[in-house]
Amino acid sequence: MNTVPIVHFLYLSIMLFGIGLFGVLVRKNAISVLMGVELMLNAVNINFLTFAKYWNWSSLTGTVFVVFVITIAAAEAAVALAIVISIYRSLRSANVDEAHYLKG
């Protein structure tokens, strides 16, 4: 394990984050957007774990934080899916561009 340099983990994380961001900004389906968000969260999780490992493995801060993020992400996914369902019911579509009633 020690032979893998830290930057490889960071490359992985940044690629994951980029893909997630791309999904959030570009995809029109609300479910895909949410999936993009999940990717971004997990990219962050990888970052946390990487730095925890390479800096101070005995400190639990980074690891515990990841557990928190996973928990909150689950709750967030539940709420977000509920909103998506509610939007789908009123618009008959899950396209985020169609939900633009707050246009100024």
User: Which residues lie near another protein (CB under 8 A)?
Assistant: 21, 24-26, 33, 96-97, 99-104
d(CA 58, CA 51): 12
Q: State which residue, 33 or 73, has the beta carbon closest to another protein.
A: 33
Q: State which residue, 7 or 26, has the beta carbon closest to another protein.
A: 26
Please report how close the Cβ of residue 88 comes to another protein at its closest, in angstroms. 15
Please report how close the Cβ of residue 2 comes to another protein at its closest, in angstroms. 29
* Angstrom distances, CA of residue 94 to CA of 41, 46, 63, 100: 22, 30, 35, 12
Q: State which residue, 26 or 31, has the beta carbon closest to another protein.
A: 26
Q: Max alpha carbon distance in the chain (Å)? A: 55
Q: State which residue, 30 or 66, has the beta carbon closest to another protein.
A: 30
Q: Strand locations in 1-104, DSSP E?
A: none
Please report how close the Cβ of residue 59 comes to another protein at its closest, in angstroms. 25
Please report how close the Cβ of residue 4 comes to another protein at its closest, in angstroms. 27
Burial class (CB in 10 A: 0-12, 13-18, 19+), 49: middle
